[in-house]
Amino acid sequence: MKRRTFIQNSTIAGLGVTVLGKDEPKKSSPFKSNNGKLKVGVIGTGLRGQGHADLIWRRDDCDLVAICDISQRMIDRTKAICEKHGKKLPTIYQSGPHAYKEMLEQEDLDAVIIATPWRWHVPMAIEAMEQGVYVGMEVSGAASVDECWQLVRTSERTGSHLYFLENVCFRRDVMAILAMVREGLFGEMMHLECGYQHDLRGVKFNDGETAYNSGAEFGEKGYSEARWRTQHSVTRNGDLYPTHGIGPVAQYTDLNRGNRMLFLTSMATKSRGLHEYIVNHPKGGPDHPNATVDFKLGDKVTTMVKTVNGETIVLHHDTNLPRPYSLGFRVQGTKGLWMKVRDGIHIEGLSKSHRWEDSKTYLDKYDHPLWKRYEQRAIGAGHGGMDFFLMHSFIEHAKRGETPPFDVYDAASWMAITPLSEQSIAMGSAPVYFPDFTDGKWIDRKNTFAHGDEY
């Protein structure tokens, strides 16, 4: 039995609590070993995992003691980052796709970060929760609704926490808008839009050696995300990547905390963009083998969600066509709205009637306390600094064994958008209902995200 598991079981036994499927994950005791430093492992040291490792190595309150990957190249890159920081090299697990199990069994980890291809997230998170480790799981859509349930039931049964690593919740403008929503500037929430609109053609295909726009290969001949991510566009038609949008919107509307997503309908366009990219690429062409691939993913997938509290949420998924990057946020309440694509805001009583204002004044005024406090430390962190705040929050929550602000119920319901949207599209945009992954606990749960300036 591992240390963490032992502590949890002791705590639970001491309280006389029987662990049933319907209990929430228990708060763990703060860790005490390793000179007060959190022992962290990273499973998956691709480009994303390397970014997380870099942020961990910048800190002095945690030790990155183990890493796991199947790619020697990615492991070497990670070791180079470690050397740059002058830190002790972590133990390396690379014996194969299941080396992560060895790592979880042999290391006495306090926390683990999972940054592998999407389909590995859930089995790895489940294994880590079984081992009593505080789990940070990277974002993705789910393969099935059932694997969302598996996450929930495993967390409830083991008492292990799952922190769903949705970094966009920490974006500076997103957090300023959250402060405004909480102050009531927008009034009661009514209609929200969000999504993932990012021309990924140069990510989905490359030359097998370099990451961006370098060729027309994917799968076994591809490099980095092209190795595994592109296949989802071949086989699946739905909102494949919903969490960067729904994560922030969940904070604005208190999803799973007094509110929840009730049902959705989804609609997809025809599929053209990926095929045309292959045909038109200098290293592709009409005779390239990939020119015969039938991509199932509609180029633009639009999903509408209705919440219990009567808001509507539109999610845009748009990754196969030439376009500027945009998560497409629109936050609209009874007193005003913000549209990021315009950098425009309108607040009744403050803005001139029927007129947009530049949002900058408001975003500056409502800059979140976390950003004010840690702005300097965030410089150089990924995605405009927001990855610093994510990792900071993860580490601080893990150190205290606290329930994460985006927990296993959020992971399950946000990830479920993917298979539910596939179902809706497959049935001619029929409405599909969200399971209540909380079994009714959403009625009383409270939003704990970013109420102060600590973490």
Please check whether residue 308 is in contact with residue 314, taking contact to mean a CB–CB distance below 8 angstroms: no
Nearer to its own copies, 41 or 336 (CB): 336
Report if residue 435 touches its own copies, rule: CB under 8 A. no
**DSSP-based three-state secondary structure for 358:** strand
Shortest distance (Å) from residue 455 CB to its own copies: 33
Shortest distance (Å) from residue 348 CB to its own copies: 4
According to DSSP, the β-strands at 432-433 and 261-268 are antiparallel
Q: What is the total count of residues that contact its own copies (CB under 8 A)?
A: 51
Report if residue 237 touches its own copies, rule: CB under 8 A. no
Please check whether residue 74 is in contact with residue 50, taking contact to mean a CB–CB distance below 8 angstroms: yes
Please check whether residue 109 is in contact with residue 40, taking contact to mean a CB–CB distance below 8 angstroms: yes
Q: Of residues 5, 263, 367, 436, which one binds its own copies by CB under 8 A?
A: 263
Report if residue 272 touches its own copies, rule: CB under 8 A. yes
Shortest distance (Å) from residue 231 CB to its own copies: 22
Give the footprint of its own copies on residues 315-334 (CB under 8 A): 318, 321-325, 332-334
Show contacts of 370-377: CB within 8 Å, 24+ apart: 370/170, 370/175, 370/450, 370/452, 370/453, 370/455, 371/172, 371/175, 371/176, 372/453, 373/453
What does the CA dihedral 178, 56, 131, 445 come to, rounded to 10 degrees? Answer: -10
Q: Of residues 70, 92, 211, 267, which one binds its own copies by CB under 8 A?
A: 267
**Interior CA angle at 184 toward 178 and 187, to 5°?**
110
Nearest to 159 by CA among 275, 305, 4, 312: 4
Q: Of residues 339, 426, 436, 441, which one binds its own copies by CB under 8 A?
A: 339
Residue matched to tokens 């295909």: 205
Shortest distance (Å) from residue 440 CB to its own copies: 21
Shortest distance (Å) from residue 250 CB to its own copies: 17
One-letter amino acid at 303 equals: T
Nearer to its own copies, 108 or 348 (CB): 348
What's the distance, CA 63 to chain centroid? 23
Give the footprint of its own copies on residues 164-223 (CB under 8 A): 188, 190-191, 199
Q: Of residues 291, 293, 304, 426, which one binds its own copies by CB under 8 A?
A: 304
Interacting residues toward its own copies by CB under 8 A: 188, 190-191, 199, 263, 265, 267-270, 272-273, 276, 298-300, 302, 304, 306, 309-312, 314, 318, 321-325, 332-337, 339, 341-342, 344, 346-348, 353-356, 428-431
